[in-house]
Amino acid sequence: MTMVLAMAQPAAAAQKTFRIKAQAAGPAVAEFARQADVQLLLAAAAARGRRTNALDGAFDVADGLERLLKGTGLRARQIGPGVYALTLETKPAPTPGAVLAPPRPPLPDTAGPASLDELVVTGTRIRRANTTAAAPVTTLSQVSLRLGGVLNLEEALNRLPEARADTTQFTNGSDADGRAQINLRNLGHQRTLILLDGERLAPVQAVDLNIIPTALVRRIDVLTGGASTTYGSDAVAGVVNVMLDRDLDGVRIDGGYSVYQHTNDDIAIRGVTAGFPSVKSPPRRVTDGVRKDLTIAAGTRFAGGRGDILAFVAYRGQDPVRWKDRDFSACRIVATEDTSAPSCAVSTLYTHYGRFQPTTGPSAGRVFYAAADGAFAPGEDGAPYAANTRETFNFMRSDERRSAGVFVNFKVAETAELHAGLLTMKDATYSQFYPYINAADVPAGGFQISCRNPFLSTSQGALLCGAAAGTDQRVSTQYTAIMSGLGDRPLRAEAINQDYRISLGVRGEALEHWRYDLSAVRSTVFSSLSDSNEIDPDRLANALDVVLVGGVPTCAAKLAGTDLACVPANIFRPNALDPRFFAYAYRDYVWANHYGQTDLIANLSGDLTSYGVKSPWSARGLAVALGAEYRADSLKQKIDAEALAFERLSPPLRGRQSVYEAYGELQAPITEGRPGIERLEVTAGVRYSKYNTGEGLLPTWKYELQYQPTRDWLARASFNRAARAPNISELYTGSTYGVVSLSDPCSGPSPAAPLKACQRTGVTAAQYGRIPDCPDQLCQTYGGNGNVGLRPENARTRTIGLVYTPHALAGLSLSADYYRIVVKGYIGPILADSVLQNCLGKGADYYCRFVHRAVDTGALFGDRATGGYIAAGAQNTSLLVNEGVDVQAGYDVQLGDLGRLDLSLTGVRLIKTGGKSAPDDPLRNCAGYFGPPHCYAPQPLWRHNFVATWRSPWREVVVSLVWRHIGPTRLSANSADPAVSEGATPYAYRPFSRIEAYDYFDLGASLRLRPGLTVRLVANNLFDLTPPVVPSTFVDGTTNNPNTYTGTYDPLGRNLQLAFSLDF
């Protein structure tokens, strides 16, 4: 629930059951806060030397606090919904006489918090009671996470209106790395900084939320907007700060089991797939996608309460769900005309029968399929031989995760507390494809087939070789196929991530009113990607060169002694391959990245009130935070020899980047308690960074203003200059060859582009009219993320908002904040098709410098030595913009004997999202659009989450209903704005031109069966809504997707979960 105070949780008037022993004030207050699900603020100085009473029984929060603190000299004062300040009982301060209006009494000593939930407000390093955020902060509590059935933290975060889910568990891509990351404001996950208890989790490019145990999360703060001044590079779009619940005295076991249920009832799609024999419709009702998790945590206090330790182990597993298990993803959806209904696209290129296209011989240029009767079927009759290549693609990948950790705190003195933590995680996820030989892997000119190959039938030999059939003459042919049969294994892409994180530090009070925190964090991430069961094209070439020896087909390479393991391949009949061939031809490829980060931070924060450093109109003095930080990132790649050759990768690289930083923040209360000025406060901050990979200092800064004209109203504004230095991957990742679907307009005897335009791309007059087109219209690219010439991104963030918390209507809070984020010189990929078209049309060096034509032929394919590629990879491009209004509301309704009802709303009204990919591009605004040519993932103008939570007074029953609304969007190709549509063909078929609004409802309930045992039942997507179905190219510009937006909409149907928590 989102409140004005970043850490606030709803107040609890309903009775809670407490079991707290008499003990030191710090641990007792922390345990009360956990059991009551509220936040308590207590200064270390106030807690020192005090012991609380035991509390055992059912009480409301106010009564429980009074009983707990009775006789301790402490009193509780509610300062916000669900937030209480514990202060010393003092006599009222005398009213000064020489002021126009009596200021408020001085606030209590807030030198530092006791060993409970710290005074941490995400967005500032100042530690002070009553500190509030100058920008909206969304908080997800432990209760909301559990009632939401959250198994992975990214699930909860990606449901927020301000997040775009583009890297999720539903990502199938063969090179997906399996990591869970967050993309705030549609600005890219690399611009969102992830913190764990206020410290960096891992290198931003290798962040994986899976390392954080979901069952131990106390709360998550989400601050959107620039925060580089406070946290350093990468905090451009915002900060996600995950706080762990480390206050455990005993053993807690959390477990869960969930499944997906879906009714395949898309009549239109099922009608389409029925017309394609190679597409199998799934059962009408399916139950699949089993997910299970278990976390065991144990904690205790030692040394008379001066220290505490918490350890945990956790396991999570999930079963795969394939595209063929949902009717809307059973085939690739296409629309051939702008007014046509959906249709299926099946592959006649990759088939189980094998596709031949000779490049020499009497049938050169024709297409054949290997028929079951041993003949060649002409390509014109290819429909019966088509294949559905999507059957084994994964909707939800198989995944197993094991993690463990230990956290220790020990107070060695009143002024020093040591803290340490260790986290480790291994996550293995894989997706499954089909074994095939790709057109891009075919040797130049095609495979060589001997005209006396013993596997050729007479009719096949006549078509391939003509009069040369039965001789030693050879013909060349392109050959593509789904190579299957007895002994085959599916192509398996596996990602393994092993993360280790060690944190050490000491914190405490250096002097009265001054608090220090020294910390060191070392994060290491081993990330490996591997492809198993790839067909090696060189081995296939050997297996096709076959002769008869004593009536036995034998590889010529085996006779020559160059490949003794060679097994002949009969590709001229379907399913005729020798089972031993697969074991011979398969190759496994592995490439891995080793990321490391060392982060050293020294922070000193102080309250200057007692020194008299304050405004003459304020009882509170200035507060400051000063600090220094050293951070070093490293990258080391390991690539096996087979992968280097097969993927044509550049040699493995290694690199290192380090930065020294100094920062400061100043919070200045100007006045309070005066007519028309209940509170006026300004905050400023600055950070200077010196990178070893850059020149000069990189400055960032912020200004913030908070003004309360009355107790009910708060006006707030902030201005941030944020920055993001290129990360280690963007600087040093190696390059590789690839392909892009593109037809060269300068190719052929009659090129589509004029000579003058082609000359801009490097074509000579002698080459014009003689350039070969790219094979299968797949031109070559070369590049990657690595570019040591990248410069830092610069961003500006502005927010201005109003907060209304009427005291006459307790429990109500309303806020609206306008924001605008502009990122200049953003680091992003250069798109090959855009480069070529803009170079042809404009001739600007910005584009043309990336086009490298083959020296001899002028073609856009070849190798790096002779040219023939379009350079790709990371560059400082132009502009990213995101603009909108955040709306938040909350209301706690007391229901008397029926408990309490908490209502909250978090919404975003999007005004602008998009930008420019090149300096001369028009500003493109995708707000309200989806799909090609540039917008793709839906960007609705309005999204919200509305949560109603009923807390009953009986057996701690809690019921939560969540309404997730995603507004409608229109196809960008149909936009009247030429910058958005860019001349694309509009679509009149309404289901493809508009996605209607979606309203999801999630229901969760928890019940205490007995002391220490709570069970939860959760149903997400309660009404089993089917996601919108669009042509696959609408989703991301490729065909490697299930015809829908899996990050925006629930793709698998209703999710049911049964979970429990057991404390003893």
pLDDT tens track for 278-325: 899 999 999 999 999 999 999 999 998 889 999 999 999 999 999 999
Task: Give me the pLDDT at residue 960, please.
Answer: 96
Q: What is the mean pLDDT of residues 618-644?
A: 90
**Within a domain: residue 683?**
no
Tally of domains in the chain:
1
Q: What is the mean pLDDT of residues 55-60?
A: 79
pLDDT category at 166 given cuts 50, 70, 90 is: low
| Pairing assessment for the beta strands 285-302 and 250-263 based on DSSP bridges | antiparallel
User: For residue 345, is it left (φ>0), alpha (ψ between -120 and 50) or beta?
Assistant: beta
pLDDT category at 553 given cuts 50, 70, 90 is: very high
Task: Give me the pLDDT at residue 897, please.
Answer: 87
DSSP 909-934: EEEEEEEESSTTSPPEE-TTEEBTTT
Q: In Å, how far are 82, 217, 328 from 231, measured between CA atoms?
A: 27, 21, 44
**Within a domain: residue 570?**
no
**Within a domain: residue 76?**
yes
Task: Give me the pLDDT at residue 608, please.
Answer: 92
Q: In Å, how far are 768, 1027, 1053 from 264, measured between CA atoms?
A: 54, 11, 9
Calpha distance 29→39 (Å, rounded) = 9
Task: Give me the pLDDT at residue 441, please.
Answer: 65
Task: Give me the pLDDT at residue 113, please.
Answer: 31
Which CATH number does the domain housing residue 20 bear?
3.55.50.30
pLDDT category at 651 given cuts 50, 70, 90 is: low
| Closest alpha carbon to 354 in 570, 545, 533, 537 | 570
Task: Give me the pLDDT at residue 920, please.
Answer: 82
pLDDT of 1014 over the 80 cut? yes
pLDDT category at 240 given cuts 50, 70, 90 is: very high
Q: What is the mean pLDDT of residues 434-461?
A: 82
960-978: pLDDT as tens digits: 999 999 999 999 999 999 9
pLDDT of 649 over the 80 cut? no
690-723: pLDDT as tens digits: 999 988 899 999 999 999 999 899 999 999 999 9
Per DSSP, 750 falls in state S
Task: Dig out the tokens for 576 from the structure.
Answer: 């005729």
* Residue predicted with more confidence, 267 or 8: 267
| 139 and 156 Cβ atoms separated by less than 8 Å | no
pLDDT category at 348 given cuts 50, 70, 90 is: confident
504-550: pLDDT as tens digits: 999 998 888 899 999 999 999 999 988 889 898 899 999 999 999 99
* Residue predicted with more confidence, 748 or 123: 748
Q: How many CB atoms lie within 10 A of CB 428?
A: 16
Round the average pLDDT of the chain to a whole number and report it. 87
Which amino acid does the sequence have at 680?
L
Q: Is 651 exposed, middle or buried (0-12, 13-18, 19+ CB in 10 A)?
A: exposed
Q: What angle do CA 19, 23, 24 make, to 5 degrees?
A: 130
Domain limits for position 82: 1-108
Task: Give me the pLDDT at residue 95, please.
Answer: 38
pLDDT of 141 over the 70 cut? yes
Task: Give me the pLDDT at residue 11, please.
Answer: 36
657-674: pLDDT as tens digits: 999 999 999 999 999 989
pLDDT of 215 over the 50 cut? yes
Task: Give me the pLDDT at residue 249, please.
Answer: 87
Calpha distance 426→315 (Å, rounded) = 10
| 399 and 482 Cβ atoms separated by less than 8 Å | no
Task: Give me the pLDDT at residue 14, please.
Answer: 53
Task: Give me the pLDDT at residue 123, please.
Answer: 63
**Within a domain: residue 865?**
no
Task: Give me the pLDDT at residue 177, please.
Answer: 63
Task: Give me the pLDDT at residue 763, please.
Answer: 95
Q: What is the mean pLDDT of residues 15-22?
A: 77
Q: What is the mean pLDDT of residues 545-558?
A: 95
Bridge partners of 16? 59
**Within a domain: residue 39?**
yes
Minimum mean pLDDT range among 36-40, 261-265, 770-774, 903-907: 36-40
Q: What is the mean pLDDT of residues 265-270?
A: 90
Instruction: Work out the percent of the chain whose per-residue pLDDT is above 70.
Output: 90
- Residue indicated by tokens 């995101």: 882
pLDDT of 38 over the 90 cut? no
The 3-state DSSP class for residue 581 equals: helix
- Residue indicated by tokens 């984020």: 821
| 832 and 742 Cβ atoms separated by less than 8 Å | yes
Calpha distance 971→980 (Å, rounded) = 10
Calpha distance 799→813 (Å, rounded) = 19
pLDDT category at 5 given cuts 50, 70, 90 is: very low
pLDDT of 829 over the 90 cut? no
465-482: pLDDT as tens digits: 999 999 999 999 989 999
What is the 3 state secondary structure string of 162-209? CEECCCCCCCCCCCCCCCCCCEECCCCHHHEEEEECCEECCCHHHCCH
Task: Give me the pLDDT at residue 82, please.
Answer: 67
75-103: pLDDT as tens digits: 887 765 567 878 777 544 343 333 333 33
Calpha distance 96→205 (Å, rounded) = 56
Q: In Å, how far are 184, 329, 350, 354, 588 from 490, measured between CA atoms?
A: 36, 20, 14, 17, 12
**Within a domain: residue 47?**
yes
| 393 and 1032 Cβ atoms separated by less than 8 Å | no
The helix (run of H) or strand (run of E) holding residue 379 is none
**Within a domain: residue 34?**
yes
Calpha distance 352→1057 (Å, rounded) = 40
Q: How many CB atoms lie within 10 A of CB 119?
A: 22
Task: Give me the pLDDT at residue 997, please.
Answer: 98
Q: In Å, how far are 253, 258, 323, 442 from 326, measured between CA atoms?
A: 35, 18, 6, 34
The helix (run of H) or strand (run of E) holding residue 230 is helix 228-231
Calpha distance 959→14 (Å, rounded) = 14
**Within a domain: residue 626?**
no
User: For residue 175, is it left (φ>0), alpha (ψ between -120 and 50) or beta?
Assistant: alpha
Task: Give me the pLDDT at residue 568, please.
Answer: 97
The 3-state DSSP class for residue 993 equals: helix
pLDDT of 41 over the 80 cut? no
Minimum mean pLDDT range among 87-96, 630-639, 1016-1025, 1052-1061: 87-96
pLDDT of 400 over the 90 cut? yes
| Pairing assessment for the beta strands 238-244 and 192-196 based on DSSP bridges | parallel
| Pairing assessment for the beta strands 969-971 and 929-930 based on DSSP bridges | parallel
Minimum mean pLDDT range among 329-333, 736-740, 778-782, 909-913: 736-740
Which amino acid does the sequence have at 538?
D
| Closest alpha carbon to 123 in 204, 4, 245 | 4
558-567: pLDDT as tens digits: 999 999 999 9
Q: What is the mean pLDDT of residues 111-125?
A: 44
904-958: pLDDT as tens digits: 999 999 999 999 988 888 999 999 999 998 899 999 999 999 999 999 988 889 9
